[in-house]
Amino acid sequence: MGKWTCWLLVLCLTPTTSFATQFFNEIGWFEPDSQLHRLLQYPAVVEDIYRNNNSQMIWFDLQQSSKLEFQLELIHHASFSPLFSRQLNYLQFYRKSNRWYEYDVLATDTLLLYLSYAENAKTEGNEWFFDGKMNESLPIPPNSALIATHRAISQQALGDLIERYTPDSSGYQSLVDTYLHLVKFQKLETPLYTQEGIKKAGDKLANREVLLHRLEVVDVDLLNVRKDVTWFDNTLESAVKQFQRLHGLKEDGIIGPDTIKWLNLAIEKRLSILAINAERIRYWPVQRDTIIVVNVPSFEMKYWARGQQLFASKVVVGRKARPTPVMTTKLDSLILNPTWNVPWKIMVEDIIPKVKEDVNYLATHNIKIIPKWGSQDIISPAEIDWKNLKPSAFPYRMTQLSGNANALGLYKFNTPNRRAIYLHDTPSKGLFDETQRAFSSGCIRVENADRFAVTLLESQGLTFEQDTSVETKQSAEPVANQSIPLKNRIPVHIIYQTAWYEEGNVHYREDIYRLDRFRYTKG
| b/e 385-406 (16+ beta carbons within 10 angstroms → b) | ebeeeeeeebeebbbbbbeeeb
Distance in angstroms (rounded) separating the CA atoms of residues 334 and 479: 12
- The Cβ of residue 293 has, within 10 Å, a number of other Cβ atoms equal to 20
Query: Is the separation of the CB atoms in 58 and 107 below 8 Å?
Result: yes
Rounded to 5°, the CA angle 87-90-95 comes to 125
Beta strand 423-424 with 444-446 is parallel
> Do residues 338 and 481 touch, judged by C-beta distance below 8 A?
yes
Q: What is the DSSP letter of 372?
A: S
Give catalytic residue positions: 424, 443
3 state DSSP class of 485 = strand
Count the helix, strand and coil residues of the chain and give each as a percent rounded to the nearest 5: 40, 15, 45
Collapse the DSSP code of 411 into the 3-class scheme (helix H, G, I; strand E, B; otherwise coil) and give the result: strand
Q: How many CB atoms lie within 10 A of CB 103?
A: 23
Q: End-to-end alpha-carbon separation of the chain, Å?
A: 55
Residue 299 — φ and ψ, nearest 5°? 55, 45
Partners of 435 in the β-ladder: none
Of 327, 326, 360, 361, whose CA–CA distance to 347 is shortest?
Answer: 361
Q: Which burial class, exposed, middle or buried, applies to 432 when counting CB atoms under 10 A from its CB (0-12, 13-18, 19+)?
A: middle
Strand partners, 482: 336
Is 520 within 8 Å of 377 (Cβ atoms)? no
Find the helix or strand (DSSP H, E) in which 484 lies.
Answer: strand 482-495
